[in-house]
Structure 1
Amino acid sequence: MMRALVLCLSLLVPTIGQAQERPANPEIEAVISGQMQAFRDADVSGAFEYAAPVIRRMFGTAENFGMMVERGYPMVWQPGEVTFGALREERGGLWQKVYVRDGAGALHVLDYEMKDVAGTWRIGGVIVLDESLSA
């Protein structure tokens, strides 16, 4: 009886902090694609331009930023196939899921935090999700 009551109440109470999916945003996808293309082209300064101000302040120079990406996010440094997943509002921000296949064929799932900076989308951070898989 108690389980049935808990189940009924859980169905009636909305989940707080649950992600809300949003329609695809071509501008956000273009920013992420643009940064990845800049890395492919060895244009670290160009890639740094896509970073939100907090990231730019954290690393100070494009060179420092590039070293961090090359060492910590090799799948972004030289990405292979890139596919966009769900865009969602979560944890007080806007997050874009991105699937990246690296040169070795491994699939990586990344979460890009997107920031609106004076009407222009910028990348506020990237999290590698545990969903990343081998080929």
Structure 2
Amino acid sequence: MHITDSDRTTIRSVVEKQLQAFQKDDAAGAFAFASPGIQQQFRTAENFMHMVKLAYEAVYRPRSVLFENLATVEGIPAQPVLLLDSQGIPVRAIYVMEQQFDNSWRINGCYLVPITEE
């Protein structure tokens, strides 16, 4: 899969907009950036928001956000984002992206990776 500069910009924008929606407690807005598979899994924006609040506190209410360079994992675009959680503990969120039939991008999962001191 060839990722263009336009794709990179769009992917970053999708992740930024979802993070902004979480900040505003806009469940429907945040849910809209999830892939159809994720939407099917959670069924409602409220279910999705509840899961994010419980399992992804650093994503729900980051103290700071720093975008890193887009990577590909087994050919799938993955957007790493360095977050500080509410306690100031750094964590890396890896957003797995999925291109839709209309060529738009949606988030198809997010994995939190603890950052260990080197």
TM-score category of the 2 structures, normalised to the smaller one: 0.7 to 0.9
TM-score normalised according to structure 1 size: 0.77
Partner of 1:125: 109
Residues of 2 paired with 1:115 and 1:106: CA distance?
28
2:79 is paired with a residue of what secondary structure? strand
CA contact (8 A) 1:52 1:124 kept: yes
Match runs of 1:65-76 below 5 Å: 65-76=48-59
Match runs of 1:75-90 below 5 Å: 75-90=58-73
Listed as ranges, the gaps of 5+ residues in structure 1 are 1-20
Q: How many residues align?
A: 113
Match runs of 1:3-82 below 5 Å: 25-82=8-65
The one-letter code sitting in structure 2 at the alignment partner of 1:80 is R
Partner of 1:111: 94
Distance 1:88 1:22, change over 3 A: farther
Distance 1:34 1:132, change over 3 A: farther
Across the aligned residues of Structure 1 and Structure 2, the Cα RMSD in angstroms comes to 1.9
The one-letter code sitting in structure 2 at the alignment partner of 1:42 is D
Listed as ranges, the gaps of 5+ residues in structure 2 are none
Partner of 1:13: none
Deviation at 1:90, TM superposition (A): 1.5
Residues of 1 paired with 2:97 and 2:40: CA distance?
16
Deviation at 1:56, TM superposition (A): 0.2
Q: Which has the larger radius of gyration?
A: 1
CA contact (8 A) 1:22 1:89 kept: no
TM-score normalised according to structure 2 size: 0.87
1:15-70 CA-to-partner distances (Å, cap 9, x unmatched) read xxxxxx98681211111110010010010110000000000000000000011100
Partner of 1:7: none
Deviation at 1:130, TM superposition (A): 3.3
CA contact (8 A) 2:90 2:114 kept: no
Identical residues among aligned pairs (%): 34
